[in-house]
Structure 1
Amino acid sequence: MKNVKIKRYISWYLLLLIPMVGTLVFNFYPLIQTMVTSLQNMNGKFIGFTNYRIMFASSEFKQTVINTLYMAVLGVAFNIPLAFIIASLLNNIGRGKGIYRVIFLLPMVMSMVTVVTLFKYLMLPNEEGVFNYIIGILGFEPSLWLNGTGTARESVVFIAVWKGIGYNVILFFAGLQGIPADMYEAAEIDGANSFKKWLYITIPASKSTFTFVLITSTIAALKRFTEVYAVSMETGNPAGRLETLLLYIYKNSFSTLNYKDEGLAGAASVVLFLIILAATLVNSHLTKEKEVSADNPKRRGTKA
């Protein structure tokens, strides 16, 4: 019997060993190699933290970090609340839920290059652009959209939210389906209207979904690349407003221009990793703290 148990444990550990080796090879090794590269020059010679000093002294890199954080915060701030509201509306629809889910998922199957090309014509800076035509009818001045230094980042975030919001809508919708119906029935008996049920039942019951969506959306927003690269190729990069950390890393890693420097790319990669790690830890801590305070409310005036 002991031999059988030992063989069973060995087989389980062997099965676990395969994904562990894969994780080490494909995740940890590139991370360690990137850290090593960040401490070397273009010839592979160890230079310590010189790349970091050069990078943080660069106004271009500072603008890149500002762009990355600004677009990430703006994208998450619009994407998550809007996705939750749409999911809540879909959850209350009696018929046709499947059709609406397909409609919101359609932009996701389109390539980002196709989406950018589409919005490039919708956001033409002159009066021929559809968006400028609409705001002109409403009495507003035409905007430069993707071509303007003051509107390029916001326009890219709008494109990214339009394309990716369907994913969060489906996640929220799936979470809403798991809320027990008797909670709403009890609230109706107590005289709660639709808004109060949504505010006091739907939102608190979706905390775990909010946590997951917040973390994944933040990571995706900080790793913004495809849309800014496609827009830069199509319409240019006005005053460096579309330069994100991943685009900065790409240019220093694979660009054929004179400023190619893999050491700087490695240093920027480490900085991006630390920003994502910090954002994830902060989000996890804040959401966990809220859940604990909600589950264990302080009762004042009670004696043990």
Structure 2
Amino acid sequence: MRHGKLAHAPSPMALRRYGFILSFLAAPLVLYAVFVVGPYIQAFQIALTNWKGISPNFDYIGFENFTKLFDDGAFWPAVRHHGLLLLVMPLATIAIALFFSFLLNVGGGQRNGRRTGVPGAAFYKIVFFFPQVLAVAIVGVLFQAILSPDKSGVLNSALGALGIDPVGWLINPDLALWTIIGVMVWQAVGFYVVLFSAGMSSIPQDVFEAAALDGAGRFTLFFKITLPLLWDTLQVGWVYLGIAAFDGFALVQVLSVDRGGPDNATTVLPLEIWRQAFTFSKYGYASAMGVALFFLTLTFAALTLRVTRRERIEF
């Protein structure tokens, strides 16, 4: 038995190798624990208190903050808005990004025996990616000018030239959230065009050439070949967009009327967290909302990865 234990003992070289690896991992793990895990734990702790954010004195009140969420008139509308964002924003963004990515990488037909994108594809990729260069606050200010409810707005000015009365894009409760979703999609599409283009460029040309020899058209080429081989990238994109749908703070803060209005028609949970903490000084209650948002996001990511999981296609 003693000889058996010695036979399975790690060699000095293996110990040195593991020590070398751990020496590189130690600093990042410590930084991650301090600056990421630590604040999460602290948020859970604050959520169990009535801390006002100013005085160092507070009392532990258990789950009272969480029970208040069920009767909060702003919390549930915000959750419903996130549900709409989760349904519309990822679908619209992925559909538009896939369409343009396919055109820019595969949809241009055969050239020198290879599938290519439409003419000027490299230039169009830069144009599509341009919104990613802009800060979110700048995008919000830009669309404030575009969506102004009177004739001074760029969009309403164009509609007025066609004889259409100005539309209250951001002041109409029935339109405001849809308008902000449209801005989110506009901002996000460019990144996913580049992401999906990178995924499509990794698909071997032999696959497309074989499909072309079999008489596959663009429709078949997209749905039967490109989409299945791009599934892993789509899965990642869907998760990222879902997480973005649980955010939306900056655009709602800048674009919405009265920060989440009109009549809470555009409010989202990050905005409610900000309001409870910095307007009403209810840091304990704001932390409870943050914990709820954390678990909603975590649940969405886990369910998405589970539902969209499929056998990996090797090529």
Q: If the TM-score is normalised by the length of the shorter chain, which range does it land in? A: 0.7 to 0.9
Please give the root-mean-square deviation of Cα atoms over the aligned residues, in Å: 2.2
After superposition, the C-alpha distances for 1:198-220 in whole angstroms (9 at most, x for unaligned) are: 11111111101101100111111
Preserved CA contact (<8 Å) 1:146 1:235 = no
Change beyond 3 A, Cα 1:194–1:14: same
- Higher helix proportion, which one? 1
- Quote the residue 1:298 is aligned against: none
> 1:157, CA displacement in angstroms?
1.2
Preserved CA contact (<8 Å) 1:37 1:44 = no
Instruction: Tell whether 2:73 aligns with 1:59.
Output: yes
- Quote the residue 2:50 is aligned against: 41
Cα distance in structure 2, aligned partners of 1:118 and 1:179: 37
- Quote the residue 2:34 is aligned against: 25
After superposition, the C-alpha distances for 1:14-65 in whole angstroms (9 at most, x for unaligned) are: 2122222222112211111111111111242110111011122111111121
- Quote the residue 1:109 is aligned against: 133
Change beyond 3 A, Cα 1:232–1:21: same
Instruction: Tell whether 2:98 aligns with 1:80.
Output: no
- Quote the residue 2:205 is aligned against: 181
Change beyond 3 A, Cα 1:137–1:72: farther
Preserved CA contact (<8 Å) 2:276 2:285 = yes
- SS of 1:213's equivalent? helix
After superposition, the C-alpha distances for 1:54-113 in whole angstroms (9 at most, x for unaligned) are: 122111111121222222322112111111111111113254222111111111111222
Instruction: Tell whether 2:290 aligns with 1:266.
Output: no
Change beyond 3 A, Cα 1:45–1:99: same
> 1:233, CA displacement in angstroms?
7.0
Change beyond 3 A, Cα 1:140–1:279: farther
Instruction: Extract unaligned runs of 5+ from structure 1.
Output: 296-304
- Quote the residue 2:64 is aligned against: 50
Which deviates more, 125-134 or 40-49? 125-134
Cα distance in structure 2, aligned partners of 1:226 and 1:235: 10
After superposition, where does 1:130-149 map in structure 2 within 5 Å?
130-135=154-159, 142-149=166-173
Query: Which of 224, 244, 249 is residue 248 of structure 2 equivalent to?
Result: 224
Preserved CA contact (<8 Å) 1:175 1:206 = yes
Preserved CA contact (<8 Å) 1:219 1:276 = yes
Cα distance in structure 2, aligned partners of 1:89 and 1:140: 34
Change beyond 3 A, Cα 1:140–1:286: farther
Instruction: Tell whether 2:306 aligns with 1:285.
Output: yes
After superposition, the C-alpha distances for 1:240-279 in whole angstroms (9 at most, x for unaligned) are: 12211111111222x2x3x220111110011101110110
- Quote the residue 2:4 is aligned against: none
- SS of 1:147's equivalent? coil
> Between Structure 1 and Structure 2, how many residues are aligned?
289
Instruction: Extract unaligned runs of 5+ from structure 2.
Output: 1-9, 52-56, 108-116
After superposition, where does 1:126-205 map in structure 2 within 5 Å?
126-135=150-159, 142-205=166-229
What is the letter of the counterpart of residue 264 of structure 1?
Answer: Y
What is the letter of the counterpart of residue 16 of structure 2?
Answer: K
- Quote the residue 2:6 is aligned against: none
Preserved CA contact (<8 Å) 2:49 2:58 = yes
> 1:6, CA displacement in angstroms?
2.4
Cα distance in structure 2, aligned partners of 1:187 and 1:217: 31
- Quote the residue 2:114 is aligned against: none
- SS of 1:146's equivalent? coil
